[in-house]
């Protein structure tokens, strides 16, 4: 949302400081007369006529700054960007310190797709007069275009400090908070903005998205419909209404996504959301096609440019393929299930991975060259890779998993370090009963929206109360206080290996996970790693697109999914896990009694062994 500062000189004439008839009636050929006629035409909304009079004004008096300022303003209003820019440039030749001209020219630079030049001009304008709230707001817009979100927010806050009633700055800052998933803070600012500008359709749309992120779906729907009542073909609220309908369980979400695409052809977020809905329903061909919009929609990492073409599914025989990472570690484990098929098809494959995964991936894909991802600051704008084609990791499935029958039956695709597996086995020996179960309960990225998919450890009582089970912590953030509280509350130890950095040492975590009988986790990287290692994993949470219309997650043969039924809370799924875990513990105990010899990994009967090396309980 942008402010458009008018020239101060033009405002002076509009304010009646001069009588237009004084000049026009006596000598209509004078520059003052043509200038006033231009102002009169501008007031009547006749922008082309206004420009003709202002052009005549500057021809008659080329050194008159007010004439150039009025021509620049009229050109902007008429959408004649080049002429407006030329007029502002002429004004700056006459007055290099003309703040309004600098700000106007900056807006034209931004409109022409040159945000970096716009930022420089806005900063020059503010150096001349730092009290212009509209210029601070517009500087924030240009900084946002450059991806400098923190600096943009600071500029919008400066605008609001100067003018708390700046609706555009309130809306922009609210939108930025929404993009950071700070939905509640965004809602407060956006409601303030709408109190000042209640007919601003786009602001209602931004508010709708923030409300949707908070889970306030009915309010979000009302905000969408208010926006659409003001501007029926506004794509963003159409798209948000589709999301709301999808979360409400309605069957008409696709209709709203389609309307958004029709309103703004190619609308990337609507196409991306449509793709997720299609994948979730099992419509893989269309779903993968629309999932390709994830970069333009801002739902994946930054899209990268290469000097080589992108692979589009053509035969790879005789070609060198570069696979690059694009999303989080959990997604990387999932997409890596396609790597072996790509390696078989291409003569030469280079795999880029998150640096912490380098040794694990290098061991798991020995026929490929595995490289650590280069830091963003070290990359060229157009990257050079010694390959023939490139592909983002998330696009492999489009060409290798076009239908459910294309998912191979292989149980695993990641191989832990055998030496570290043995080391972890020795550390685990001496503790526990007949069943060792690793647990994790949340993701590292805990946005308000994602909190719906997780349950705190305090809610794990039914699971932790199952007898005959040894629980091992796999949660990879600071969780010591939570574990101590759960141990005290439920009377069960939760073990964890000392000197294991579960966040950064994926080799050690993979070796530990490979020694467990079972992993129980929600949608996070712990569950994805366990599935990629072929360890039995029970994943709980709502259905998502990765189920691909099935009752399982076909990527992971060793994974079972536990979903809450319609109308149930997420804890109901955890209750069913507890019931199945109780049965599994009974079977493990019977198997142990019938075959008391060692198994892999060997487990003595005692539950707690204070001499267990490098193992501690809270």
How high is the mean pLDDT of the chain? Answer: 86
- pLDDT tens for 128-159 read 889 999 999 999 999 998 889 999 999 999 99
CA distance 572 to 478: 26
* Count of other CB atoms within 10 angstroms of residue 314: 10
Within-domain flag for 278: no
**What does the pLDDT read at residue 542?**
87
Within-domain flag for 528: yes
Query: What pTM, to 2 d.p., does this model score?
Result: 0.78
**What does the pLDDT read at residue 418?**
97
Within-domain flag for 294: no
Shared domain for 172 and 127, answered yes or no, is: yes
**DSSP-assigned beta bridge partners for residue 616:** 496
Helix (H, G, I), strand (E, B) or coil at 220: helix
Which residue range forms the structural domain that includes residue 117?
Answer: 8-227
Residue segments in the chain with a per-residue pLDDT below the cut of 70: 1-29, 68, 81, 88, 91-92, 97-99, 432-433, 444-452, 592-618
Shared domain for 155 and 13, answered yes or no, is: yes
CATH number of the domain that 136 lies in?
Answer: 1.25.40.10
Shared domain for 219 and 314, answered yes or no, is: no
CA distance 198 to 176: 20
C-alpha dihedral sign at 103, 104, 110, 116: negative
CA distance 451 to 473: 20
Q: Using alpha carbons, select from 183, 176, 139, 181 the residue that is nearest to residue 158.
A: 139
**What does the pLDDT read at residue 5?**
44
CB-CB contact of 520 with 537 (8 Å): yes
472 membership: H or E segment, kind and range: strand 469-473
Please state, in angstroms and as integers, the Cα–Cα distance from residue 564 to each residue in 13, 452, 552, 553, 570, following that order.
68, 12, 14, 16, 5
Residue that is last in its domain, among 211, 227, 243: 227
DSSP 281-324: HT-HHHHHHHHGGGTTTT-SS---EESSPBP-S---TT-EEEEE
**What does the pLDDT read at residue 3?**
56
CATH number of the domain that 389 lies in?
Answer: 3.40.50
Within-domain flag for 293: no
CB-CB contact of 421 with 354 (8 Å): no
Residue that is last in its domain, among 178, 205, 227: 227
CA distance 96 to 115: 21
- pLDDT tens for 187-196 read 999 999 999 9
CB-CB contact of 552 with 404 (8 Å): no
Residue that is last in its domain, among 346, 374, 406: 406
Residue 388: partners with Cβ closer than 8 Å, 6 or more residues away: 308, 319, 320, 321
Shared domain for 63 and 115, answered yes or no, is: yes
Within-domain flag for 234: no
Shared domain for 382 and 526, answered yes or no, is: no
DSSP annotation of 467: T
Shared domain for 375 and 435, answered yes or no, is: no
**Number of folded domains that form the chain:** 3
Q: At what angle do helices 506-514 and 525-533 cross, to 10 degrees?
A: 60
Shared domain for 82 and 36, answered yes or no, is: yes
Shared domain for 220 and 349, answered yes or no, is: no
Shared domain for 375 and 438, answered yes or no, is: no
Within-domain flag for 237: no
Within-domain flag for 292: no
Within-domain flag for 169: yes
Angle value at C-alpha 68, between 62 and 73, nearest 5 degrees: 165
DSSP 40-94: HHHHTT-HHHHHHHHHHHHHH-TT-HHHHHHHHHHHHHHT-HHHHHHHHHHHHHH
CA distance 173 to 140: 9
Shared domain for 462 and 558, answered yes or no, is: yes
CB-CB contact of 522 with 539 (8 Å): yes
Q: Using alpha carbons, select from 149, 206, 203 the residue that is nearest to residue 180.
A: 149
CATH number of the domain that 610 lies in?
Answer: 3.40.50.2000
Shared domain for 395 and 445, answered yes or no, is: no
Shared domain for 401 and 480, answered yes or no, is: no
**Tokens representing residue 538 in the block:** 């029970």
Helix (H, G, I), strand (E, B) or coil at 132: coil
CA distance 277 to 543: 11
């Amino acid at each position: 949302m942008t402010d458009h500062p008018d020239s101060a000189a033009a405002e002076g004439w509009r304010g009646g400081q001069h009588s237009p008839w004084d000049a026009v009636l006596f000598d209509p050929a004078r520059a003052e007369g043509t200038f006033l006629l231009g102002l009169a035409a501008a007031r009547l909304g006749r922008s082309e006529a206004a420009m003709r009079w202002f052009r005549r004004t500057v021809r008659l008096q080329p050194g008159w700054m007010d004439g150039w300022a009025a021509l620049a303003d009229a050109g902007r209003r008429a959408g004649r960007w080049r002429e407006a820019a030329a007029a502002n440039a002429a004004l700056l030749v006459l007055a290099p310190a003309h703040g309004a001209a600098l700000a106007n020219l900056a807006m034209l630079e931004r409109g022409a797709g040159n945000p970096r030049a716009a930022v420089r001009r806005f900063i020059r304008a503010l150096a001349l007069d730092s009290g212009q709230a509209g210029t601070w707001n517009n500087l924030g817009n240009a900084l946002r275009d450059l991806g400098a979100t923190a600096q943009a927010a600071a500029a919008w806050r400066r605008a609001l400090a100067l003018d708390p009633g700046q609706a555009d700055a309130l809306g922009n800052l609210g939108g930025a908070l929404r993009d950071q998933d700070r939905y509640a803070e965004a809602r407060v600012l956006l409601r303030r903005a709408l109190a000042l500008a209640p007919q601003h359709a786009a602001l209602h749309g931004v508010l709708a998205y923030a409300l949707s992120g908070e889970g306030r779906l009915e309010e979000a729907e009302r905000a969408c419909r208010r926006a659409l009542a003001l501007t029926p073909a506004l794509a963003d609220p159409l798209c948000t209404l589709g999301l709301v309908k999808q979360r409400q369980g309605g069957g008409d979400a696709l209709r709203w996504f389609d309307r958004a695409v029709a309103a703004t052809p190619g609308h990337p977020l609507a196409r991306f959301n449509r793709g997720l809905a299609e994948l979730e329903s099992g419509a893989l061909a269309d779903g993968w096609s629309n999932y390709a919009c994830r970069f333009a929609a801002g739902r994946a990492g930054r899209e990268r440019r290469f000097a080589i073409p992108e692979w589009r599914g053509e035969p790879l025989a005789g070609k060198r393929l570069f696979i690059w990472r694009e999303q989080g570690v959990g997604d990387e484990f999932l997409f890596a299930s396609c790597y072996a098929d790509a390696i078989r098809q291409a003569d030469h494959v280079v795999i880029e991975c998150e640096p912490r995964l380098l040794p694990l991936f290098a061991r798991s894909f020995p026929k490929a060259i595995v490289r650590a991802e280069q830091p963003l600051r070290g990359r060229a704008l157009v990257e050079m890779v010694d390959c023939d084609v490139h592909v983002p990791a998330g696009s492999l499935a489009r060409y290798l998993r076009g239908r459910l029958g294309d998912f191979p039956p292989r149980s695993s695709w990641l191989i832990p370090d055998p030496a570290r597996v043995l080391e972890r086995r020795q550390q685990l020996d001496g503790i526990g009963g007949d069943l060792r179960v690793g647990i994790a309960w949340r993701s590292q990225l805990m946005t308000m929206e994602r909190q719906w998919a997780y349950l705190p450890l305090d809610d794990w009582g039914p699971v932790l109360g199952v007898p005959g089970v040894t629980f091992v912590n796999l949660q990879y953030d600071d969780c010591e206080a939570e574990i101590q509280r759960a141990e005290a509350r439920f009377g069960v130890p939760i073990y964890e290996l000392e000197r294991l950095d579960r966040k950064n040492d994926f080799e050690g975590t993979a070796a530990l996970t490979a020694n467990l009988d079972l992993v129980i986790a929600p949608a996070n990287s712990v569950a994805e790693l366990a599935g990629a290692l072929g360890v039995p994993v029970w994943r709980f949470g709502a259905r998502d697109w990765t189920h691909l219309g099935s009752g399982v997650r076909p990527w992971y043969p060793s994974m079972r999914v536990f979903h809450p039924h319609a109308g149930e809370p997420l804890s109901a799924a955890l209750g069913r896990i507890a019931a199945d875990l109780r049965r599994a513990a009974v079977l493990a105990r019977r198997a142990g009694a019938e075959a008391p010899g060692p198994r892999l990994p060997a487990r003595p009967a005692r539950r707690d062994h204070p001499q267990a090396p490098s193992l501690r309980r809270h």
